[in-house]
Protein backbone atom coordinates (compact mmCIF):
# COMPACT_ATOMS: atom_id res chain seq x y z
CA UNK A 1 0.00 0.00 0.00
CA UNK A 2 1.44 3.37 -1.05
CA UNK A 3 1.81 6.53 1.01
CA UNK A 4 -1.30 8.26 -0.33
CA UNK A 5 -3.49 5.16 -0.03
CA UNK A 6 -2.37 4.64 3.56
CA UNK A 7 -3.35 8.25 4.43
CA UNK A 8 -6.75 7.79 2.78
CA UNK A 9 -7.42 4.56 4.70
CA UNK A 10 -6.47 6.23 8.01
CA UNK A 11 -8.80 9.15 7.21
CA UNK A 12 -11.70 6.78 6.42
CA UNK A 13 -11.08 4.85 9.66
CA UNK A 14 -11.23 8.11 11.66
CA UNK A 15 -14.43 9.18 9.95
CA UNK A 16 -16.06 5.83 10.68
CA UNK A 17 -14.82 5.94 14.30
CA UNK A 18 -16.58 9.26 15.04
CA UNK A 19 -19.87 9.28 13.07
CA UNK A 20 -21.48 12.06 15.16
CA UNK A 21 -18.56 14.39 14.52
CA UNK A 22 -18.73 13.57 10.80
CA UNK A 23 -22.46 14.32 10.67
CA UNK A 24 -21.84 17.57 12.56
CA UNK A 25 -19.13 18.65 10.14
CA UNK A 26 -21.39 17.80 7.20
CA UNK A 27 -24.22 19.84 8.76
CA UNK A 28 -21.93 22.86 9.22
CA UNK A 29 -20.71 22.58 5.62
CA UNK A 30 -24.33 22.27 4.44
CA UNK A 31 -25.38 25.40 6.36
CA UNK A 32 -22.39 27.32 5.01
CA UNK A 33 -23.27 26.24 1.46
CA UNK A 34 -26.90 27.29 1.88
CA UNK A 35 -25.87 30.66 3.33
CA UNK A 36 -23.44 31.27 0.46
CA UNK A 37 -26.07 30.30 -2.13
CA UNK A 38 -28.69 32.52 -0.49
CA UNK A 39 -26.56 35.64 -0.03
CA UNK A 40 -23.67 35.25 -2.45
CA UNK A 41 -25.13 33.88 -5.68
CA UNK A 42 -27.43 35.72 -8.04
CA UNK A 43 -29.76 34.41 -10.71
CA UNK A 44 -30.08 36.26 -13.99
CA UNK A 45 -32.08 35.49 -17.09
CA UNK A 46 -29.87 37.79 -19.17
CA UNK A 47 -27.97 35.57 -21.58
CA UNK A 48 -25.37 38.30 -22.10
CA UNK A 49 -24.11 37.79 -18.54
CA UNK A 50 -23.37 34.10 -19.03
CA UNK A 51 -20.05 34.71 -20.81
CA UNK A 52 -17.34 37.33 -20.21
CA UNK A 53 -17.81 40.43 -22.38
CA UNK A 54 -14.12 40.57 -23.32
CA UNK A 55 -14.36 37.49 -25.57
CA UNK A 56 -14.28 38.37 -29.27
CA UNK A 57 -17.27 36.28 -30.34
CA UNK A 58 -19.40 37.72 -27.50
CA UNK A 59 -18.56 41.24 -28.67
CA UNK A 60 -19.38 40.26 -32.25
CA UNK A 61 -22.74 38.83 -31.19
CA UNK A 62 -23.57 41.97 -29.18
CA UNK A 63 -22.68 44.18 -32.16
CA UNK A 64 -24.82 42.01 -34.44
CA UNK A 65 -27.77 42.34 -32.04
CA UNK A 66 -27.35 46.13 -32.00
CA UNK A 67 -27.23 46.26 -35.81
CA UNK A 68 -30.23 43.95 -36.32
CA UNK A 69 -32.72 44.45 -33.45
CA UNK A 70 -35.46 42.72 -35.45
CA UNK A 71 -33.85 39.37 -34.58
CA UNK A 72 -35.28 39.75 -31.08
CA UNK A 73 -38.78 40.30 -32.43
CA UNK A 74 -41.58 37.80 -32.58
CA UNK A 75 -44.58 37.39 -34.84
CA UNK A 76 -48.06 36.58 -33.62
CA UNK A 77 -49.95 34.29 -35.96
CA UNK A 78 -53.70 34.04 -35.57
CA UNK A 79 -55.70 31.46 -37.49
CA UNK A 80 -59.40 30.78 -37.77
CA UNK A 81 -61.03 27.96 -35.82
CA UNK A 82 -63.02 26.86 -38.83
CA UNK A 83 -61.33 27.36 -42.19
CA UNK A 84 -64.55 26.58 -43.99
CA UNK A 85 -66.21 29.66 -42.43
CA UNK A 86 -63.48 32.24 -41.65
CA UNK A 87 -64.49 35.45 -39.87
CA UNK A 88 -64.80 38.75 -41.70
CA UNK A 89 -61.69 40.84 -42.35
CA UNK A 90 -63.06 43.51 -40.02
CA UNK A 91 -62.90 41.04 -37.12
CA UNK A 92 -59.27 40.19 -38.01
CA UNK A 93 -58.37 43.87 -37.96
CA UNK A 94 -60.15 44.39 -34.62
CA UNK A 95 -58.21 41.48 -33.16
CA UNK A 96 -54.93 42.94 -34.45
CA UNK A 97 -55.83 46.30 -32.89
CA UNK A 98 -56.63 44.66 -29.53
CA UNK A 99 -53.39 42.67 -29.51
CA UNK A 100 -51.35 45.75 -30.39
CA UNK A 101 -53.03 47.79 -27.65
CA UNK A 102 -52.29 45.10 -25.05
CA UNK A 103 -48.68 44.76 -26.19
CA UNK A 104 -48.13 48.52 -26.08
CA UNK A 105 -49.11 48.46 -22.39
CA UNK A 106 -46.07 46.25 -21.65
CA UNK A 107 -43.62 49.16 -21.88
CA UNK A 108 -40.90 47.46 -19.82
CA UNK A 109 -40.88 44.33 -21.97
CA UNK A 110 -41.99 45.49 -25.41
CA UNK A 111 -39.99 48.20 -27.16
CA UNK A 112 -42.03 48.55 -30.33
CA UNK A 113 -45.31 47.24 -31.76
CA UNK A 114 -45.96 47.41 -35.48
CA UNK A 115 -49.22 46.51 -37.16
CA UNK A 116 -51.17 47.86 -40.11
CA UNK A 117 -47.98 49.07 -41.76
CA UNK A 118 -48.56 50.51 -45.25
CA UNK A 119 -46.79 48.67 -48.06
CA UNK A 120 -44.82 51.80 -48.95
CA UNK A 121 -43.17 51.81 -45.51
CA UNK A 122 -42.17 48.14 -45.53
CA UNK A 123 -39.11 48.88 -47.62
CA UNK A 124 -37.27 46.82 -50.17
CA UNK A 125 -36.50 43.79 -47.96
CA UNK A 126 -39.41 43.55 -45.56
CA UNK A 127 -41.27 40.51 -44.34
CA UNK A 128 -44.93 40.59 -45.21
CA UNK A 129 -46.92 37.88 -43.53
CA UNK A 130 -50.20 37.16 -45.24
CA UNK A 131 -52.41 34.42 -43.91
CA UNK A 132 -55.55 33.46 -45.67
CA UNK A 133 -57.33 30.89 -47.69
CA UNK A 134 -56.87 30.70 -51.40
CA distance 76 to 27: 51
Buried b (16+ CB within 10 A) or exposed e, 58-85: eeeeeeeeeeeeeeeeeeeeeeeeeeee
Residue 77: pLDDT band (50, 70, 90) is: confident
In the chain, where the domains are located? 3-40, 73-121
> What pLDDT score was predicted for residue 56?
92
Residue 38: pLDDT band (50, 70, 90) is: very high
CA distance 77 to 37: 42
CA distance 43 to 37: 10
Percent of the chain residues topping a pLDDT of 90: 20
Amino acid sequence: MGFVQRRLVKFVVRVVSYPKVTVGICAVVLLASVAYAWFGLSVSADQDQLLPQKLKFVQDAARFDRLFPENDAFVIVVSAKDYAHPPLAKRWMELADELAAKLRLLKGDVARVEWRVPLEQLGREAMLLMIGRV
